[in-house]
Amino acid sequence: MSGSQSALFGGGSRWITNPKHLSFIAALYGNISVKTASTTIAASNTVGFFTAAALRGAQTSITVADTYVTVASVSGAGFLVNCVSPTHSSAHIPTIRITVDGVAYTIAPSANHTALWRTVLGSVTTSAAITARASASIAGDLAFPNSPDDGGFANAPVGGVVVSSSVISLPSPETALAYGLPVLRFESSLLVEMKCSGLSATAVDKQCAATYRLDL
């Protein structure tokens, strides 16, 4: 039975419950952004990105190479929207481990990623976040597949993970849900852990984040 049939006829959940079924993409850390206000954005090579992400979830920093840190530990039901990995100033492998209702899943590329790439789990828009209507062209407002900023099939996967050739942006949890973007459903608990094969000397490289929404 298809997902749409399951939703209609009660044969299963409409939500994703296995995080390996979410989108998983890599990008240069300066090309991953969030909106911090209607007219400002922050990229993931700045502390402001993680400060903003924590307003809709949690953020922390790794402290030891190849050792997990807990990014989020949540009791109750809700939705995980995005995970953003730590990075390193040289080749590295980032790993995200997500435990959903007691079941653990490990997600990582199978080969080294290039310096200063981060991996992002979950839905993204393939464009820079718009910061001002007056300065944004109509073409720049479009963030759909094959829109002006979408790199399409430009790159082959590295270690099984596609590397974006353009800027990507994270939606807020409420926007992701309102527009029906793929999100991860958990019913009783969520644990998000991350690590990196190396430990960068730069503080922001060590930072990582998860965004989520709890049921009311």
Q: How many domains does the chain have?
A: 1
Is position 8 within any domain? no
Alpha carbon of residue 122 to chain centroid:
5
Which residue spans within the chain are E strands per DSSP? 24-28, 32-37, 40-43, 57-61, 69-75, 78-84, 94-100, 103-107, 117-121, 162-163, 168-169, 184-186, 189-196, 207-214
Is position 2 within any domain? no
- Residue 7's pLDDT band, with cuts at 50, 70 and 90, is very low
- Quick: pLDDT tens for 24-71: 999 999 999 999 988 889 999 999 999 999 999 999 999 999 999 999
Is position 162 within any domain? yes
pLDDT for 191: 98
pLDDT for 74: 97
Global confidence as pTM: 0.89
Please, are residues 183 and 177 in contact by the beta-carbon 8 Å criterion? yes
- Quick: pLDDT tens for 58-97: 999 999 999 999 999 999 999 999 999 999 999 999 999 9
The single residue listed with the structure tokens 């996967």 is 157
pLDDT for 137: 53
Is position 175 within any domain? yes
94-100, strands of its sheet edge to edge? 69-75, 189-196, 94-100, 103-107
Q: Per-residue DSSP letters for 51-107?
A: HHHHTTEEEEE--STT--EEEEEEES-EEEEEEE----SSSB-EEEEEEETTEEEEE
- Quick: pLDDT tens for 91-116: 999 999 999 999 999 999 999 999 99
Is position 1 within any domain? no
Write out the residue range of the structural domain in which residue 139 sits: 13-214
* pLDDT at residue 10 tops 80: no
Mean pLDDT of 165-180: 92
Is position 6 within any domain? no
Mean pLDDT of 124-148: 65
Please, are residues 32 and 43 in contact by the beta-carbon 8 Å criterion? yes
